[in-house]
Amino acid sequence: MKRILVLALRDLRIEFRGRSGLLSALFFLGVVLLILGFALGPEENDLRRAAPGVLWVALAFAGSLLAGRVWAVEVENGTLDDLLLTPGSREWIYWGKFLFLWVLLLLVALVLLFMVAGMFYLPLDRAPGLFLTLILGATGYAAVATFYAGIVVRLSTAQLVLPILVFTVVVPVILAAVRATVGLAEGAAMAEVASWWKFLAAFDLIYLTACSLLFPFVIEG
């Protein structure tokens, strides 16, 4: 447990010192929102209706940038083998990396939420519900992205393959998250939104369990 935190904190510290990954993800978000705004606007009603979709599309794109960062530190410094050689089972490496990506995603998602609220008029009056949706969505996304980023990390074509893999497998999470956000934005009954939350939570649980159990078999030192 302690190892997981140490690994995640170390990666976060490196990421914040370097800033390049996080900054480029945020910049990219801004550009995506601009393009979508131009494409869908400027009618206020159109933008409002598109807002939940825009939120998750932008987050998914930015997430695939961040996913590349998860193992980048190890590859750049040649420390992946050292990490894999640490005695004990390897699940904790997955959990550490997952935690790292999860925190990054949530930070980006929080910024994004306010950007979308500003530019696309996403109503924030049910903010706690939106936060919960973001947390559940980011969990599923990070679970899958960490896993696949680990599989392809040694490939020269990793940057090419990773988005294809992550996007296809993560589609159900994005769909459910969009539905929940639409429900919250358009004032749907709590029961309807909650059914999507349940779906998301089930997904997160299945993906996290499956990925963390499979990870030691799939990653090779």
Partner 1 sequence: MEPKRAKQRLDPLTQGLLWVGFLTLAAGLFFALKAPPDVQQGYLVRILYLHVAAAWTGYLAFIVAGVYALLYLVREDPRFDRLSAASAEIGLWLSLLMVLGGMMWARPTWGVYWVWEPRLTSVAVMVAIYAAYFLLRQAIEDPEMRAKAAAGVAILGVINIPITYMSVYWWRSIHQTASIDIINRRVNMAPEMVTALLVNLLAFTLIYLGFLRLKGMLAEMGAREEEQSG
Residues that bind partner 1 (CB under 8 A): 144, 147-148, 151-152, 154-155, 157, 160-161, 164-165, 168-169, 171-172, 175, 206-207, 210-211, 214, 217-218, 220
Least gap, CB of 151 to partner 1 (angstroms): 5
- Residue among 167, 162, 158 nearest 76 (CA): 158
The nearer residue to partner 1, 132 or 165, going by C-beta atoms, is: 165
Nearest-angstrom CA–CA distance, 221 and 219: 7
Shortest distance in whole angstroms from residue 114 CB to partner 1: 29
Residue where the block lists tokens 């894999």: 84
> What DSSP assignment string belongs to 105-138?
HHHHHHHHHHHHHHHH----TTHHHHHHHHHHHH
Instruction: Rank residues 35 and 210 by Cβ distance to partner 1 and give the closer one.
Output: 210
Which residue number, 29 or 178, has a Cβ lying nearer to partner 1?
A: 178
List the end-to-end C-alpha distance of the chain, in Å, as a whole number. 22
Task: Tell me the two tokens of residue 7.
Answer: 């690994």
Closer of 34 and 164 to partner 1 (Cβ): 164
Shortest distance (Å) from residue 164 CB to partner 1: 5
With vertex at residue 209, the alpha carbon angle to CA 207 and CA 212, rounded to the nearest 5 degrees, is 100
- Which CA distances in Å does 88 have to 84, 100, 144, 182, 205? 10, 21, 23, 44, 24
Specify the residue, 35 or 155, whose C-beta has the smaller distance to partner 1. 155
